């Protein structure tokens, strides 16, 4: 019998390359005659370039050429071009210079004379909502494709309330109501009202988005850092307005993205266009300093929350207003945050209002658990506060409010394929030993106080309808062509496992093909929103099912008997007529041609899959199919996080002592990697809750916190030695494999377990702002207001 592949710890096939230095990330590629580009970044948050004199730079020895904004595709409205003469954040690339080495290019940048006209700017979105306040764009602060720019302001009445620390009643571009919140609040035994600030924070993957490009005739060879792969090729083609089949996209390894490199094509365009202009390979090495600006950030929220509870602790009404700090080019987090609040607390009565405000800060993008992580990290301690005030056990208040299988959420009453949040909570309670931990909550040891808390965090975890493509070659091996990216989740290998198992393969006979678009990929997902595990276990399962049918038919044709009487195991197919190796089957499939060798394709595969399949046709037995398994409802995964902290009341320093994360993500394919996702995401959430932020000089609109050490992600000494994870392990019933994604939900769980535990250590007080740096906590402990209630980007 072939080995079990689903549920086993198998190191991914690229690990050997990663640990020997052979793995090539984008900046590791070289090409003959390669030159270096450097960027001139805007020194102002909003400006217009009046004049550029590059003559001195261009005369420098070794300088090749300059690339200006008018030579790259321009974008109308609040959309980002790769170079611009109207920069909308400090650090936005204005132009690029290429030279034979990087230092010469940098010296040339310094030699460029450039004159800017400063324009009004906005760092804090509330300022742009104020009557008479500045806008991030010259033409306004709201944009619609139909009506263009407009000037959206709240009223003086709204701001009278805001300034008094009360919840305003403003109009917002996005608004939905379900149930009857007003009547429900009247019935609530407890109504909590809070104002909340959640900071913006940079993604900061370890690998900055350096990339290199050159052209051979009409063909662009792009060596890039991207989370996705097949879809990035199409996105880059769209950005450059060229035929996708003229791009050879090399994306073998990606040193992390966390949402900032879903496609990541903005910066990629620069070497591609520059290389075409000067007819030489161009390397654009992005430094950490530059990555800080061009590398994307999670949008910040300024939020008013009113939450009603019945006597038994059940949340019965939510009123939520979110002002989102969206940078110059927008983001969608706030919409998701409203949905997630409704899903996690099942109030039945909810009003949501939200406004996305353009600001002159570095661009925002989805960051792991976008919207969900922010709102969960803020609302979970408030839920626990309600438990405390109503005398309901804090674990029980999470459990009773968590959704069951029949949940309907959001304005359109969305449903879920499966939900086992309650099981995740129950398992976590046991693993963490919640009852014993609760007994030491509030215990003092000198100036240190122990706190415990829980964070329950959902997020989308799958999509459907992609294509799978694999081929069994005459060498008998199974080649799974994976158009998804290789960003560290191991999904290039793990999503092939159920398919390989279906075909009776041992893992040593499975080859994963990935990372270079010349190698042919089926239509794939973008690697985002935790879709990949579900989408591509399904698509590969469909393709393997197609391959299995063809193997049986080829065997029956060769050996006699009915196709259905043949079965596969360990590289052989056996039945009433005898046995054959799958290598022999592949040879016969090539001879038979037609659908067996991929010369005839299913009608329903995506148009993007067809040219890829044509590359492989005739080389073996092809399994190719669209995922037609269908399904109703949204696919969501969950993580229940449990944290214990010690807060030092003299210093404001929080030490995380223990953490347990339990996930509901369906079938577990790769336990060790799943544990790494639960911990990794949770720890990223802890960095969000504790340390990472932007801090701007409000007068000039430039950030102070712009490197690792000023906006520090968690290091080895920030995490507890005692980490545990678990999985509920109940397969999703609407899925052939039953697996759901896991990337997003742990971020909110880690952050919220921490914010809840810190509130617990402070006797139940919710600070309602992140990050909870020692100075913020000390101010709260000492009862001294640090700054106003709602400023964004101050610390």
Partner 1 sequence: MDQAESVSVLEEKYSRRTFIKGVIATGATASSAGYLFRGSPLLGAATYQTATERLITLNVNGQERRVDVLPHETLAMTLRYKLGLTGTKLGCDRAECGACTVLIDGVSQYGCSMLTHQVRGRSVATIEGLEDADTGELSVVQKAVMEEGGFQCAFCAPGFIMAMTEMIEVNPNPTREEARLALSGNLCRCADYDKILTCAMRAAELARSV
Identify residues 111-170 at the interface with partner 1 (CB under 8 A): none
Two tokens at 582? 């799958």
Is residue 12 close enough to count as binding partner 1 by CB under 8 A? Answer: yes
The token pair at 268 is 């990629």
Least spacing, CB of residue 206 vs partner 1, in Å: 4
- How many Å apart are CA 462 and CA 529, to the nearest integer? 7
- Shortest distance, CB of residue 284 to partner 1, whole angstroms? 12
Spatial CB neighbours of 61, under 8 Å, sequence gap ≥ 6:
104
Span of 47-55, 193-201, 582-590, 672-680 interacting with partner 1 by CB under 8 A:
672-680
With CB under 8 A as the contact rule, the residue among 717, 783, 784, 785 that binds partner 1 is 717
Residue 119: alpha-carbon gap to chain centroid? 33
- Considering only 137, 154, 253, 345, the residue that binds partner 1 (CB under 8 A) is 253
Taking each helix axis as running N to C, give the angle between helix 372-390 and helix 394-401, from 0 to 180 degrees, rounded to the nearest 10.
120
Chain residues 719-778 in contact with partner 1, contact rule CB under 8 A: 719, 721, 723
Closest CA to 192 of 105, 319, 293: 319
Size of interface with partner 1, in residues (CB under 8 A)? 73
Question: Which residue, among 493, 494, 495, has the nearest Cα to 466 in the 3D structure?
Answer: 495
Which of 211, 608 has the CB closer to partner 1? 211
Whole-number minimum distance, CB 105 to partner 1, in Å? 8
Q: Tell me how crowded residue 700 is: count the other CB atoms within 10 A of its CB.
A: 14
| Cβ 312 to partner 1 shortest distance, Å | 38
Which residues between 277 and 306 bind partner 1 (CB under 8 A)?
285, 287-290
Beta bridge partners of 142: 150
Torsion of CA 105, 110, 114, 116, to 10 degrees: 110
Burial category of 606 from C-beta neighbours within 10 Å (exposed 0-12, middle 13-18, buried 19 and up): middle
- Applying CB under 8 A, the span of 24-32, 65-73, 392-400, 515-523 interacting with partner 1 comes to 24-32
How far apart (Å, rounded) are the C-alpha atoms in residues 179 and 675?
A: 39
Residue 285 C-beta: closest distance to partner 1, Å: 8
Interface region with partner 1, contact rule CB under 8 A, candidates 6-14, 216-224, 234-242, 299-307: 6-14
Candidate segments 20-28, 142-150, 454-462, 627-635, binder of partner 1 by CB under 8 A: 20-28
Q: Which of 498, 522, 529, 713 binds partner 1 (CB under 8 A)?
A: 713
Binding mask 172-211 for partner 1 (x = CB under 8 A): --------------------------------xxxxx---
Which residue, 500 or 781, has its beta carbon nearer to partner 1?
500
Q: Please identify, among the stretches 174-182, 431-439, 624-632, 680-688, the one whose residues bind partner 1 according to the rule CB under 8 A.
A: 680-688
Rounded distance between C-alpha atoms, residue 569 and residue 588, angstroms: 18
Cα–Cα dist 88/359, whole Å? 8
Closest contact distance (angstroms) between CB of 124 and partner 1 is 25
3-state secondary structure of 216: strand
Ranges within 682-701 binding partner 1 (CB under 8 A): 682-684, 687
Asked whether position 489 contacts partner 1 by CB under 8 A, the answer is yes
Torsional sign, CA 129, 132, 138, 142:
positive
Q: Which of 13, 58, 62, 127 binds partner 1 (CB under 8 A)?
A: 62
Helix axis angle for 394-401 and 421-432, nearest 10°, is 160
Of 196, 299, 377, 370, the C-alpha closest to 751 is 377
Which segment (249-257, 353-361, 619-627, 646-654) binds partner 1 by CB under 8 A?
249-257
Q: Residues 81, 83, 196, 254: which binds partner 1 (CB under 8 A)? A: 254
- The closest alpha carbon to 618, from 604, 603, 631, 600, belongs to 600
What is the DSSP-derived secondary structure letter of residue 42? P
Report 370-389 residues binding partner 1 (CB under 8 A).
Answer: none
Residue 305 near residue 293, CB atoms below 8 Å: no
Specify the stretch interacting with partner 1 by CB under 8 A; choose among 426-434, 552-560, 706-714, 761-769: 706-714
Site for partner 1 in 77-116 (CB under 8 A): 100-104, 106-107, 109-110
Q: How far is the CB of 490 from partner 1 (least distance, A)?
A: 8
Binding window for partner 1 (CB under 8 A); candidates: 27-35, 322-330, 331-339, 434-442? 27-35
Minimal distance, residue 291 CB to partner 1, in Å: 9
Say whether residue 8 binds partner 1 (CB under 8 A).
no
d(C-alpha 766, C-alpha 777), whole Å: 10
Q: Output the CA torsion sign for 43, 46, 50, 55.
A: positive
Q: Which of 427, 430, 546 is nearest to 480 (CA)?
A: 546
**Smallest gap from residue 685 Cβ to partner 1 (A):** 9
Interface with partner 1, residue 38, by CB under 8 A: yes
Min dist CB 357 to partner 1, Å, is: 28
Q: How far is the CB of 452 from partner 1 (least distance, A)?
A: 20
Distance in angstroms (rounded) separating the CA atoms of residues 610 and 484: 17
What percent of the residues of the chain are helix, what percent strand, and what percent coil, each to the nearest 5? 30, 25, 45
Query: In this complex, which beta carbon is closest to partner 1, that of residue 325 or of residue 494?
Result: 494
Shorter beta-carbon distance to partner 1: residue 680 or 736: 680
In terms of CB distance, is 147 or 709 closer to partner 1? 709
**Could you count the other beta carbons within 10 Å of the beta carbon of residue 312?**
11
Question: What are the distances in angstroms from CA 333 to CA 300, 362, 461, 637?
Answer: 9, 16, 16, 18
Pick the binder of partner 1 from 1, 508, 716, 783 (CB under 8 A). 716
C-beta closer to partner 1: residue 494 or 501: 494
Token duo for residue 678: 């639960």
> Least distance in Å: CB of 404 to partner 1?
32
* Radius of gyration, CA atoms only, the chain: 27
389 to each of 76, 192, 514, 685, how far by Cα in Å?
A: 52, 10, 54, 27
- Please choose, out of 28-36, 50-58, 142-150, 184-192, the segment that lies near partner 1 by the rule CB under 8 A: 28-36
679 touching partner 1, by CB under 8 A: yes
Which is nearer to partner 1, 650 or 722 (by Cβ)?
Answer: 722
Q: Which of residues 402-441 bind partner 1 (CB under 8 A)?
A: none
Q: Which of residues 454-473 bind partner 1 (CB under 8 A)?
A: none
Rounded CA-CA distance 80/364 in Å is 11
Q: Is 512 in the site for partner 1 (CB under 8 A)?
A: no
Tell me if 97 sits within 8 A of 111, measured CB to CB.
Answer: no
> Which tokens belong to 688?
């969000």
Among positions 604-663, residues that touch partner 1 (CB under 8 A) are none
């Amino acid at each position: 019998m072939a080995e079990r592949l689903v549920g086993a710890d198998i190191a991914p096939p690229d690990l050997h390359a990663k640990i020997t230095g052979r793995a090539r990330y984008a900046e590791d590629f070289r090409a003959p005659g390669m030159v270096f580009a450097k960027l001139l970044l805007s020194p102002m948050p909003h400006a217009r370039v009046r004049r550029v004199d590059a003559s001195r730079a261009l005369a420098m020895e070794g300088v090749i050429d300059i690339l200006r904004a008018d030579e790259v595709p321009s974008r109308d409205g609040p959309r980002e071009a790769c170079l611009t003469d109207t920069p909308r954040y400090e650090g936005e690339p204005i132009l690029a210079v290429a030279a034979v080495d990087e230092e010469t290019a940098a010296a040339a940048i310094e030699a460029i004379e450039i004159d800017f006209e400063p324009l009004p700017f906005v760092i804090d979105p509330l300022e742009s909502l104020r009557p008479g306040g500045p806008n991030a764009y010259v033409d306004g602060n709201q944009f619609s494709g139909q009506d263009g720019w407009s000037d959206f302001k709240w009223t003086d009445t709204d701001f009278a309330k805001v300034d008094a620390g009360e919840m305003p009643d403003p109009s917002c571009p996005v608004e939905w109501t379900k149930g009857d919140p007003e009547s429900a609040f009247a019935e609530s035994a407890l109504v909590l009202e809070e104002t909340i600030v959640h900071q913006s924070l940079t993604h900061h993957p370890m690998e900055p988005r350096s990339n290199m490009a050159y052209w051979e005739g009409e063909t662009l060879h792009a060596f890039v850092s991207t989370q996705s792969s097949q879809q990035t090729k199409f996105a880059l083609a769209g950005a450059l307005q060229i035929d996708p089949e003229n791009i050879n996209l090399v994306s073998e390894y990606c040193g992390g993205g966390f949402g900032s490199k879903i496609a990541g094509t903005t910066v990629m365009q620069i070497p591609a266009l520059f290389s075409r202009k000067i007819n030489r390979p161009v390397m654009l090495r992005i430094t950490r300093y530059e990555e800080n600006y061009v590398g994307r950030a999670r949008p910040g929220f300024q939020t008013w929350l009113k939450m009603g509870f019945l006597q038994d602790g059940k949340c019965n009404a939510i009123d939520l207003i979110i002002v989102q700090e969206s940078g110059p080019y927008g983001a969608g987090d706030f919409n998701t945050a409203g949905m997630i609040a409704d899903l996690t607390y099942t109030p039945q009565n909810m009003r949501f209002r939200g406004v996305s405000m353009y600001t002159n800060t570095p661009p925002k993008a989805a960051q792991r658990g976008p919207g969900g992580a922010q709102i969960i990290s803020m609302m979970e301690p408030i839920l626990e506060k309600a438990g405390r005030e109503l005398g309901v056990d804090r674990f029980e208040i999470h459990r009773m409010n968590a959704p069951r299988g029949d949940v309907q959420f959001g304005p359109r009453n969305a449903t879920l394929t499966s939900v086992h949040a309650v099981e995740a909570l129950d398992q976590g309670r046991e693993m963490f030993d919640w009852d014993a931990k609760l007994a030491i909550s509030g215990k003092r040891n000198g100036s240190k106080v122990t706190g415990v808390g829980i964070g329950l965090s959902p997020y989308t975890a799958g999509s459907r309808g992609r294509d799978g493509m694999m081929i069994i070659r005459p060498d008998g091996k199974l080649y799974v062509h994976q158009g998804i990216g290789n960003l560290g989740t191991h999904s290039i290998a793990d999503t092939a496992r159920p398919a390989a198992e279906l075909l009776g393969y041992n893992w040593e006979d499975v080859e994963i093909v990935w990372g270079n678009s010349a190698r042919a990929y089926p239509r794939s997902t973008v690697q985002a929103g935790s879709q990949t595990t579900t989408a591509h276990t399904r698509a590969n399962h469909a393709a393997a099912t197609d391959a299995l049918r063809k193997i049986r038919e080829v065997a029956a044709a060769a050996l006699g008997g009915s196709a259905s009487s043949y079965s596969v195991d360990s590289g052989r197919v056996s039945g009433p007529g005898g046995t054959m190796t799958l290598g022999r089957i592949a040879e016969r499939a090539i001879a038979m041609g037609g659908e067996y060798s991929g010369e005839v394709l299913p009608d329903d595969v995506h148009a993007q899959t067809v040219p890829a399949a044509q590359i492989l046709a005739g080389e073996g037995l092809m399994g190719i199919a669209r995922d037609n398994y269908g399904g109703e409802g949204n696919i969501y995964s969950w993580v229940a996080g449990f944290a214990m902290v010690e807060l030092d009341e003299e210093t404001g320093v929080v030490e995380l002592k223990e953490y347990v994360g339990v996930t509901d993500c369906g079938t577990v394919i790769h336990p060790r990697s799943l544990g790494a996702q639960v911990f990794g995401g949770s720890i990223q959430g802890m960095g969000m809750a504790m340390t990472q932020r932007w801090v701007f000089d409000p007068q000039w609109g430039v950030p102070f916190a712009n490197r690792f050490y000023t906006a520090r992600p968690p290091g080895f000494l920030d995490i507890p030695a005692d980490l545990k994870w678990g999985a509920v392990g109940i397969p999703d019933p609407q899925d052939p494999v039953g697996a759901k994604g896991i990337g997003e939900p742990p971020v909110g769980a880690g952050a919220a377990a921490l914010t809840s535990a810190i509130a617990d250590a402070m006797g139940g007080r919710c600070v309602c702002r992140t990050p909870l740096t020692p100075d913020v906590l000390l101010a709260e402990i000492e009862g001294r207001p640090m700054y106003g209630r709602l400023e964004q980007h101050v610390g």
